[in-house]
Amino acid sequence: MSDLNQQMAAKYQNNFLREIEEQAEMGEWVKMCMQCGLCSGSCPTNFHAGWDHPPQELFMMIRAGKRDEVLKSNSMWMCTSCYNCYVRCPRKVPVTHVMHGLAEYAYRIGQSPKNQPTQHLSKTFWDNATKTGRVNEVKLTQSLYFKDGIGSGIKKAMEMQAVALGLVKAGRLNPLEAVGIAHKCKDIKGIHAMLAKANELEAQHKAEKAKA
Amino acid sequence: MTSVVATNQTILVVGGGISGMTAALEAAETGKQVVLVEKNPYLGGRTVQLYRYFPKMCHPTCGLEINLRRLKANPRIQVLTLAEVTGISGDRGAYSVSVKLKPRHVNSNCTACGECGRAVQTEIADEFNYNLGKIKAAYLPSSMAYPQRYVIDASIIGTADAERAKAACKYDAVDLEQQEETISLNAGAIVWATGWQPYAAEKIVYYGYDRFANVITNVEFERLADPHGPTGGKILRPSDGKEAKNVAFIQCAGSRDENHLRHCSRFCCMASLKQTHYVQEAFGDAGKSTIYYIDIRAIDRFEDFYQKVKTNPNVSFVKSKVARITEDKAGNPVCNGVNVEGYKRYATAHDLVVLAVGMEPSVKGMDIPGEVMSDSSGFIMADPANAGIFGAGCATNALDVNRAVQSATAAALRAIQVVNKVARAEA
């Protein structure tokens, strides 16, 4: 992973904007930002408390070539995908998608912040859901709650007890999933074949981009 | 029946604002016959609704008076007010145009004495003042109105109020029998100068123009500052009539926005900078202005004006497009956003927020009879396909008064070239 990072850094040298344009999905939109601030101002999250940088600052940092700060930023992982910024942007920059593109790229080259909860959830969700073609909710929540150790996991699980029981009662959560008896897709092989093909295409696409 | 003398050597000018008046005068002063058609009951358009011009801070009445004197002195211009073009057929050099004339219900005997206005009881929205107040249904649109003649509003025709107006008139000027009519006239060339409209601010939902009384537009602010306006020139905010000493100006309200107007309207930066003068003059050091901007576009020679405003300690600049307006318990509008210089959130209360709304061409959505090419914003383009129809002023681009006049003069010249050709062919 870090090899890829060094390879990319060497390839683009001081042109981080070009690196993002060519390597990150939707990265070509970064140059369209006119720094009006409507995206940051419209963001419903309290980014002062939890974010390193609001989107507009992130865009400017990309142009200023602040490679390490951008890739290691937690901002793109904090986006809740509410799309407020996207619908309001006067330049029609798909801000939400750019944030996701940046997150994926930082992760791909091994520069994303370690143990970041959103990243952890994304990875866990993906592994969980692609296994049987359906999400195993019990295992997913378990892995999320116990991310930071047993103590905090039990505490979190106790907090959410009432919600879990409600879901069981409503038939939305099957406790047997804990022991691996879970609902699954009819054609798991087919799903896996599709995912394998998609992975192959994406790897090919990214390798081409990296070479170009 | 209204009679208009027009031939294929006549130039028709549609729109009697500053651009239309200019085009009509320039053409007539070279000896051409001109018919000037205006939708409103008066000439001058949006220009007469301004309190002052930038950059010299002089009053529009001055420039208008000069144009009106030129107009009155020129027998080659026929002015039709309350008139709208409804159909155009034919081609360059030989157009046939139908014009719908609405009744004014007041004839040329009127001396603007005002007796009918005093007699009438019904009140209607004051369109000249952007509906900020009410006026009597028999009214003179503005003190500078040309023709200087009252209008009896159509809404009271057939009521006792109309009879009261007629009875009050000492000059037999009120004519309640006038009917709407459509006339047709010939023209060799047409100058289309229908101007602009302020962008519909309620469409920018997060600014709450239609929810908050103290969020107004820049054109409304002009009327508040004008001694002839609804507040007698006092800058009072609409919700409670309190003096608005702390005024926020939000730039690019609608302009430079793919979701609203995709073009830069060009005049709004200068208009807001000008309006900070109104606040300063009204309240001295107690008057504070804050301009929220993306970047200030005081084009070419106006840079000096901007630099001067910047030295005023009572005017502050915040580099940020305001993301949302809310209202606090005292009814003050609060601007929320992130300051680009430092990327910190702010929530600042003001007495009044002025949205610097941009220009939407009036031709947009208007059914111009005939084929006219326009750009992606709806402004008329110069295109050979337009044949003998030429755009002028804000129908062609977002322009300030000065540039609109230049554009109108250019359009007049093109129209003159067409009718000259007709004249040579007919000779």
ipTM score of complex = 0.87
Residue A9 maps to a domain: yes
Whole-number Å distance between alpha carbons of B420 and B427: 10
Residues of chain A with pLDDT under 50: 1
- Which of B204, B257, B338 best tests the A interface by mutation, with the highest count of A CBs <10 A? B338
Query: Is there a single domain that holds both residue A153 and residue A94?
Result: no
Across the interface, of B258, B259, B340, the residue whose CB is closest to A37 is B340
Contact residues on chain A for B256, CB-CB shorter than 8 A: 34, 90
Residue of B206, B258, B323 lying closest to A91 (CB–CB): B258
What is the predicted pLDDT for the residue at B391? Answer: 95
The whole domain housing A108 covers 2-113
What is the tally of structural domains in chain A? Answer: 2
pLDDT at residue B370 in the model = 62
Report which of A169, A115, A165 is spatially closest to residue A144, judged by C-alpha positions: A115
Helix (H) / strand (E) containing B186: strand B181-187
Do A166 and A130 share a structural domain?
yes
- Residue after which a domain boundary falls, among A61, A96, A113: A113
Closest partner CB to A37 (pick from B206, B260, B321): B321
Q: Which two tokens stand for residue B76?
A: 């080659």
pLDDT in tens, chain B (427 residues): 578 888 999 999 999 999 999 999 999 999 999 999 999 999 999 999 999 999 999 999 888 899 999 999 999 999 999 999 999 999 999 999 999 999 999 999 999 999 999 999 999 999 999 999 999 999 999 988 999 999 999 999 999 999 999 999 999 999 999 999 999 999 999 999 999 999 999 999 999 999 999 999 999 999 999 999 999 999 999 999 999 999 999 999 999 999 999 999 999 999 999 999 999 999 999 999 999 999 999 987 899 999 999 999 999 999 999 999 999 999 999 999 999 999 999 999 999 999 999 999 988 766 666 668 888 899 999 888 889 999 999 999 999 999 999 999 999 999 999 999 999 998 8
The minimum CA-CA distance between B98 and chain A, rounded to whole Å, is: 41
Interface test with A, best of B292, B297, B325, B343 (most A CBs within 10 A): B343
Whether A205 maps to a domain, the answer reads: no
Every domain range in chain B assigned CATH 3.50.50.60? 10-102+180-195+362-426, 199-358
Q: How far apart are CA B83 and CA B103, in angstroms?
A: 9
The whole-angstrom separation of Cα B289 and Cα B278 is 10
| Residues of chain A that touch chain B, judged by Cβ-Cβ distance less than 8 Å | 34-38, 40-42, 48, 53-54, 56-57, 87-92
Q: Do A91 and B294 touch (CB under 8 A)?
A: no
What is the CATH T-level fold of the domain B199-358, as seen in this structure?
FAD/NAD(P)-binding domain (3.50.50)
Q: Are residues A104 and A194 in the same domain?
A: no
How many CB pairs (< 8 A) connect A and B? Answer: 60
Distance, in Å, from the CA atom of A155 to the CA atom of A163, rounded to the nearest integer, reads 14
- Taking an 8 Å cut-off on Cβ atoms, the answer to whether A36 and B344 are in contact is no
Is the same domain home to A184 and A153? yes
- Separation CA A85–CA B320 (nearest Å): 15
A90:B256 CB<8 A: yes
Of B252, B319, B337, the CB nearest to A41: B337
Q: Report how far residue A126's alpha carbon sits from residue A129's, in angstroms, rounded to the nearest whole number.
A: 5
Same domain, A46 and A136: no
- d(CA B339, CA B342) in angstroms, rounded, equals 6
Residue carrying structure tokens 């909710």? A137
Interchain proximity A90–B340, CB inside 8 Å: no
A27 contacts A69 by C-beta, under 8 angstroms = no
Give CA–CA dist B311/B76, Å, rounded: 49
CA B144/CA B64 separation, integer angstroms: 9
With an 8 Å Cβ cutoff, are B344 and A48 in contact? yes
The C-alpha atoms of residue B152 and residue B117 are separated, in whole angstroms, by 9
Which residue, of A86, A113, A140, is where some domain finishes?
A113
Residue B22, CA atoms < 13 Å, CB-side half-sphere: 27
Q: Does A104 lie in the same domain as A28? A: yes
pLDDT value, residue B1: 59
Cα angle: A86, vertex A92, A96; to 5 degrees: 30
pLDDT for A180: 74
A39 and A136 assigned to the same domain? no
Tell me, yes or no, whether A212 lies in a domain: no
Q: With an 8 Å Cβ cutoff, are A88 and B256 in contact? A: no
Q: Are residues A11 and A101 in the same domain?
A: yes
User: Which of A159, A178, A180 shows the shortest CA–CA distance to A168?
Assistant: A178
Contact call for A90 and B344, based on CB within 8 A: no
The shortest C-alpha distance from B357 to chain A (Å) reads: 14
**Bridge-based pairing state of the strands B344-349 and B333-339:** antiparallel
pLDDT of residue B301: 84
Confirm whether A210 is domain-assigned.
Answer: no
Interface of B with A (CB under 8 A): 206, 252, 256-260, 294, 319-324, 336-340, 343-345
pLDDT at A2: 61
Query: At which of A113, A129, A153 does a domain end?
Result: A113
Do A109 and A6 sit in the same domain of this protein?
A: yes
Domain CATH number, residue A82: 1.10.1060
Set of chain A residues whose Cβ sits within 8 Å of the Cβ of B207: none
CA B211, distance to chain mean position in Å, is 24
Chain B residues in contact with A90 (beta carbon < 8 A): 252, 256-260, 321
Say which CATH architecture domain B10-102+180-195+362-426 belongs to: 3-Layer(bba) Sandwich (3.50)
Residues of B in contact with A92 (CB under 8 A): 258-259
Say yes or no for a CB contact (<8 Å) between B259 and A41. Answer: no
